[in-house]
Amino acid sequence: MSKDATLIDLGFAEARVPLGTHACQIYDNTGERDDALLRFLSRGLRNGETAACFSENISEHALEAWFSKEGLSLADERASGRFALAKTRAVYFEEGRFDPDRMLALLRKFHDDSVAAGRPGARVIGEMSPEIARIPGGSRLFEYESRVNCLLRDHPVTAVCQYDAHAFDGATIMDILSVHPMMVVRGAVILNPFYIPPEEFIPG
Amino acid sequence: MTEPDGPRADVLARLLLIQSMAGQLPNETSILGFVCRGLEHVPGVSGAWHSDASDGTAARPPGLRHFPIHLGDKCHGEIVVRLVDQGRFDAYAPHITNLAFMVAVMLEERRQRRLSESHERELECRVEARTRQLTEEARERRAAEAQAIAEKHRAEDYLDIAEAIIVELDAYGRVTVVNTRGCDLLGRPADQILGHDWFDLAVPPERQDSLRGIFGRIMTGQADVPSHYEGAILAGTGEERYVEWHSVVRRTDGRPSGTLTSGLDITERKRAELQRAKLESELLQALKMESVGRLAGGVAHDFNNMLGVILGHAELALEQVDPALPLHDDLQEIHKAATRSADLTRQLLAFARKQTVLPKVLDLNDTVAGMLKMLRRLIGEDIRLAWQPGERLWLVRVDPSQLNQILVNLCVNARDAIANVGAVTIATTNCTLDEGDCAQHAGYHAGEYVRLVVKDDGCGMNQDTLSHLFEPFFSTKGPGKGTGLGLATVYGIVQQNEGFIGVRSEAGSGTTFEIYLPRHVGEVQPSASAEPPPARRGHGTILLVEDEPGIRRTAARMLERDGYAVLVASTPGEAIRIAEGYPGRIHLLVSDVIMPEMNGRELAGHLVRLHPELKLLFMSGYTADVIGVRGVLDGGVHFIQKPFSRSELADKVRGVLDFRNGHTGT
């Protein structure tokens, strides 16, 4: 996949963005969250992309209903390996700790498997749990997010990170914005003016 | 150092973005934290934080810039910015001031929203509490209503099963409560009683005004309601029922507002009391009559003896006196007076049931039919006599002469009750009385009877006259018009024949006498063949036994005058001695019945053994049971009623001596 040449539809925003976009969505209510998530996934699958969802809060029933409405079959997509669904804790806090390196390796593999499958792209959406503040390794969240930006340059997975505005304090939210090049504001995806490139965010 | 081209667009964009996103954050702390962290991206800023201090006069350390967050008089502290390059920062200061203002707006809006939400929550809580309270009150009210309804139903059930009548009236006499017993008695459903005037519904018309007046005085406090009283009400059947009432006055605010009354139907008890009183009265009357009868009988007996002497001597004297002499007239007057007196005593004896009777088995229809001509003459031409014989009439056993006395006395009574023209009806019918029929009348007995009715449409009798009707010498006629013994005679005759008599009469509505004679099961007794009147004089020996000297002498002289040899004894013992010593035949014993030592029948028994062919003739003015039961003679027993005339004695003696079947001494 070539990040530079390909624009994709995120499903929940009008504008198309480059393949491998890394955006954050600070959502105010669960409806806003679920709407973006469902549209993001179904759009990717209809594009033929590989899609993955890491969330504690979305139910398979809601996914199945949405997919069905979109002409997709959750079972088929999963069976074919085009779609993966997992809980946030299971993915991010395997063995009870947050390991940025492991997560980056997962992301890299996710991209490579999609390419190997001949798919035009790969996308992932995940909701971070505020529990990360108490998880060993949780303080490396922003490091991880910043290093994702580096990874995505060569492994362009389109990633959307969802954060609950009610679960994280304002300062943390600003820090979250600092490590995401794009941000979702009132349903639109815009360049994040608070973004600090990883070379600046993670010195050395 | 300053921004060479003014504030950078990307920085301004950040400030705008901060302002935009801050509004999405949930609380003041998050907003301020977000804003302050965002301000760290402004050139020249090394740090930013929120301070609650709002006093602008406080000393401010150098290197810090303060941006108050206030809107009007509402202050939310300030944002403090640490500067490392004031020159570069200054270009953004106005924008940050604007940002602080927008944060103030946000926070104030949040505060207002919280206040409003708090007010709403408080209002909701109050509404919820009030709703709970109202719901609970409604539930309690429903429960209370349900309980009240249940208690009302229970009270209604109590009212309905009560044997007593329960009635509640309002102050105007309208019915507000009535129970099932009351509805049953009035013969109406409750909806035709409730709300209606009680006095119109239930009180007999003649009492409505007075009771309504009493009720009105009670309701105005001028009178107290009697706690217990009796009164009549009109039942649904139209009859009057007697009720014993118990009432209390209902009061509202201390003033009478109605009455609550319970009543017991005592009609049957009242009727029983009246019936008992009636029977007691009838019984007393019967006992009185019995006493009077005994007295009358006693008087008649003694009187008869004297009359016998007077009549006998008057007859003997008349035979010896020249009819042209004034003495003859005097003697005749004496005889007439004595004869009338004898009739009186005869009636008294009949009343006292002391007449000696010779009953026969009769068909009343035949007997009455034979008397009709005589009765029509008796009552006169202006009064129609109707005869209604009953069909297949049962037989009775009665002395025809007594039956004659009954009809004569009743028809005379009917005639005298009719002023000018009218009608008398005689009727007969079979009648069977049971215990229930007899319970209504003292002296009635159950059984089969022939009822003889004599009815007139005359002036009738009031209750007072009826209560004395059968008393001897009682009369409503003027002096000299009747002896007052006619109905007493009828009464005595009926009683003597084991019957009873009833009378129904109302002043102005005529009178009906109903005589009940016991049914006799048997055959009609053929009339004795008419024998030629015996000859006045005779022959033979007669043993005369009489303890009364006057009667003895008079009778002996009469018999001797008629040609008989008379042996006279004053006591039964003397008679036996005479009979034992008499060598010849004694043909006839003429004996009084009641005598010292032994009665006439016992004497006859002794003498018949001495003289088997002896014939018997008893005489008495007072027949005891010694001759026959209740004075009723056995067949073949001869009797002559005292006082008797010479001819009556002569005829009787001749008849006995000529009687073929002779005597019976047993």
pLDDT of B470: 84
**Predicted confidence band at B480 (pLDDT cuts at 50, 70, 90)?**
low
Whether residue A170 and residue B41 make contact (CB cut-off 8 A), yes or no, is no
The closest CB to that of B34, out of A173, A186, A193, belongs to A173
Nearest-Cα residue of chain B relative to residue A29 = B24
Q: Are B497 and B517 in contact (CB under 8 A)?
A: yes
User: DSSP letter string over B147-196?
Assistant: HHHHHHHHHHHHHHH-SSEEEEEETTSBEEEE-HHHHHHHTS-GGGTTTS
Other CB atoms within 10 A of residue B90 CB: 15
Comparing CA positions, the residue from B311, B394, B405, B393 lying closest to residue B357 is B405
pLDDT of B287: 77
pLDDT of B642: 80
Whether residue A26 and residue B38 make contact (CB cut-off 8 A), yes or no, is no
The nearest CA of chain A is from the CA of B23 a distance in Å of 10
Comparing CA positions, the residue from A14, A68, A22 lying closest to residue A45 is A68
Q: Whole-prediction pTM value?
A: 0.43
Residue B633 confidence (pLDDT) above 70: no
Q: Among B34, B41, B95, B106, which would you mutate to test the A interface (most chain A Cβ atoms within 10 Å of its Cβ)?
A: B34
Give the mean model confidence (pLDDT) for residues A156-182. Answer: 93
Give the mean model confidence (pLDDT) for residues B114-119. Answer: 84
pLDDT of B7: 82
The nearest CA of chain A is from the CA of B42 a distance in Å of 10
Whether residue B17 and residue A185 make contact (CB cut-off 8 A), yes or no, is yes
Query: Which tens digits make up the pLDDT trace of B24-35?
Result: 888 889 999 999
Interface residue A171 vs chain B (CB under 8 A): yes
What is the four-CA torsion angle of B382, B383, B388, B393, rounded to 10 degrees?
-120
Could you tell me which residues are beta bridge partners of residue A86? A54
User: DSSP letter string over B132-152?
Assistant: HHHHHHHHHHHHHHHHHHHHH
The single-letter code of the amino acid at B477 is: K
* Residue B77 to residues A74, B25, B68, B98, B99, Cα–Cα distance (Å): 52, 18, 6, 15, 14
Inter-helix orientation angle B267-320/B549-561, to 10°: 50
Residue B224 dihedral angles phi and psi, to the nearest 5°: -95, 150
Q: Hey, CA dihedral for B155, B160, B166, B172, is it positive or negative?
A: positive
Query: Which tens digits make up the pLDDT trace of B249-295?
Result: 999 999 999 999 999 998 888 888 888 888 887 777 777 777 777 77
Nearest-Cα residue of chain A relative to residue B17 = A193
User: For chain B, what is the mean pLDDT?
Assistant: 85
Residue B662 confidence (pLDDT) above 50: no
Residue B534 confidence (pLDDT) above 50: no
Nearest-Cα residue of chain A relative to residue B16 = A193
Other CB atoms within 10 A of residue B157 CB: 12
Query: Which tens digits make up the pLDDT trace of B386-439?
Result: 999 999 999 999 888 889 889 998 998 999 899 888 999 999 999 999 988 887
Q: Are A196 and A181 in contact (CB under 8 A)?
A: no
Whether residue A193 and residue B37 make contact (CB cut-off 8 A), yes or no, is no
The closest CB to that of B31, out of A170, A177, A193, belongs to A170
Whether residue B26 and residue A165 make contact (CB cut-off 8 A), yes or no, is yes
Q: What is the ipTM of this complex?
A: 0.82
Interface residue A28 vs chain B (CB under 8 A): yes
Q: Please confirm whether the linkage preceding B643 is cis (ω < 30° from 0).
A: yes
The larger pLDDT score, comparing residue B526 to residue B551, is at B551
- B225's CB contacts (< 8 A; 6+ apart) are B218, B247, B248, B249, B259
Inter-helix orientation angle B646-658/B267-320, to 10°: 90
CA distance B600 to B603: 5
Q: Among A32, A177, A179, which would you mutate to test the B interface (most chain B Cβ atoms within 10 Å of its Cβ)?
A: A177
* Residue A98 to residues A93, A104, A149, B219, Cα–Cα distance (Å): 5, 11, 18, 98
User: Which residues of chain B neighbour A165 with C-beta distances below 8 Å?
Assistant: 24-26, 30
Q: Are B593 and B601 in contact (CB under 8 A)?
A: yes
Interface residue A185 vs chain B (CB under 8 A): yes
CA distance B395 to B522: 7
Query: How are beta strands A16-18 and A7-9 bridged, if at all?
Result: antiparallel
Interface residue A188 vs chain B (CB under 8 A): no
Residue B201 dihedral angles phi and psi, to the nearest 5°: -75, -45
Give the mean model confidence (pLDDT) for residues A167-176. Answer: 92
Burial of A78 (0-12, 13-18, 19+ CB in 10 A): middle
- B186's CB contacts (< 8 A; 6+ apart) are B178, B193, B201, B202, B233, B234, B235, B236
Comparing CA positions, the residue from B3, B5, B30, B35 lying closest to residue B17 is B35
Whether residue A169 and residue B36 make contact (CB cut-off 8 A), yes or no, is no
- B555's CB contacts (< 8 A; 6+ apart) are B308, B312, B544, B546, B590, B619, B649
Query: Which tens digits make up the pLDDT trace of B553-583?
Result: 999 999 998 899 999 999 999 999 999 999 9
Q: How many A-B residue pairs are in contact by the CB < 8 A criterion?
A: 53
Whether residue B17 and residue A173 make contact (CB cut-off 8 A), yes or no, is no
Q: Are B426 and B387 in contact (CB under 8 A)?
A: yes
**DSSP H or E run through B336:** helix B326-351
Q: Among A25, A174, A182, which would you mutate to test the B interface (most chain B Cβ atoms within 10 Å of its Cβ)?
A: A174
Q: How many residues does chain B have?
A: 666
The percentage of chain B sitting over the pLDDT mark of 90, rounded to a whole number, equals: 37
Pick from A82-91, B113-122, B274-283, B655-664 the range whose average pLDDT is largest.
Answer: A82-91
Give the mean model confidence (pLDDT) for residues A94-120. Answer: 93
Residue B622 confidence (pLDDT) above 60: no
Which long-range contacts (C-beta less than 8 Å, at least 24 apart) are formed by A90-98?
A91/A54, A91/A126, A92/A54, A92/A126, A92/A128, A92/A129, A92/A132, A93/A129, A93/A131, A93/A132, A93/A135, A96/A135, A96/A136, A97/A135, A97/A136, A97/A137, A98/A132, A98/A135, A98/A136, A98/A137, A98/A138, A98/A140, A98/A141, A98/A144
* Residue B162 to residues B119, B227, B233, B263, B647, Cα–Cα distance (Å): 62, 19, 19, 10, 81
Chain B residues whose C-beta is within 8 A of a chain A C-beta are 10-11, 13-14, 17, 20-22, 24-26, 29-38, 41
Nearest-Cα residue of chain A relative to residue B37 = A171
Give the mean model confidence (pLDDT) for residues B330-342. Answer: 84
Residue A190 dihedral angles phi and psi, to the nearest 5°: -130, 160
Nearest-Cα residue of chain A relative to residue B20 = A185
Residue B1 confidence (pLDDT) above 80: no
Inter-helix orientation angle B549-561/B646-658, to 10°: 70
Q: Among B14, B25, B28, which would you mutate to test the A interface (most chain A Cβ atoms within 10 Å of its Cβ)?
A: B25
Give the mean model confidence (pLDDT) for residues B639-652. Answer: 84
Q: Are B28 and B110 in contact (CB under 8 A)?
A: yes
Interface residue A174 vs chain B (CB under 8 A): yes
Q: How far is CA B193 from the centre of its chain?
A: 24
The closest CB to that of A165, out of B20, B24, B37, belongs to B24
Whether residue B29 and residue A169 make contact (CB cut-off 8 A), yes or no, is yes
Could you tell me which residues are beta bridge partners of residue B84? none
Comparing CA positions, the residue from A127, A117, A160, A112 lying closest to residue A10 is A160
Whether residue B24 and residue A170 make contact (CB cut-off 8 A), yes or no, is no
Whether residue A173 and residue B36 make contact (CB cut-off 8 A), yes or no, is no
3-state secondary structure of A78: helix
Query: Which tens digits make up the pLDDT trace of A32-67?
Result: 999 999 999 999 999 999 999 999 888 889 899 999
